[in-house]
């Protein structure tokens, strides 16, 4: 069951990182059609969200590795 939760965290982190990339591109004006397009605020928030998403992925992967090694040994 713990492995399912960690896999969910990896998916959550990936979605957060993807959203951060989209927000960054919108903030920089590369993706148009939104109130966020060309807004500097989103060009700042986006990379922060990418880093948070990547941190979630790394922590979840470390948890998966740790739970896998505990089962073997």
User: What does the pLDDT profile of the chain (73 residues) look like in tens digits?
Assistant: 477 888 899 999 999 999 999 999 999 999 999 899 999 999 999 999 999 999 999 999 998 777 765 554 4
Asked if 36 and 26 touch (Cβ cutoff 8 Å), the reply is yes
Quote the CA–CA distance of 61 and 53 in Å, as a whole number.
Answer: 12
57's CB contacts (< 8 A; 6+ apart) are: 9, 10, 13, 14, 17
Quote the CA–CA distance of 59 and 53 in Å, as a whole number.
Answer: 10
pTM reported for the whole predicted model: 0.83
């Amino acid at each position: 069951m713990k492995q399912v939760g960690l896999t969910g965290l990896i998916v959550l982190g990936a979605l957060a990182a993807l959203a951060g990339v989209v927000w960054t591109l919108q903030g920089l004006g590369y993706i148009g059609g939104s109130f966020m397009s060309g807004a500097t605020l989103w060009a700042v928030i986006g990379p922060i969200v990418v880093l948070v998403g990547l941190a979630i992925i790394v922590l979840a992967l470390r948890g998966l590795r740790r739970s896998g090694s505990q089962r073997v040994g």
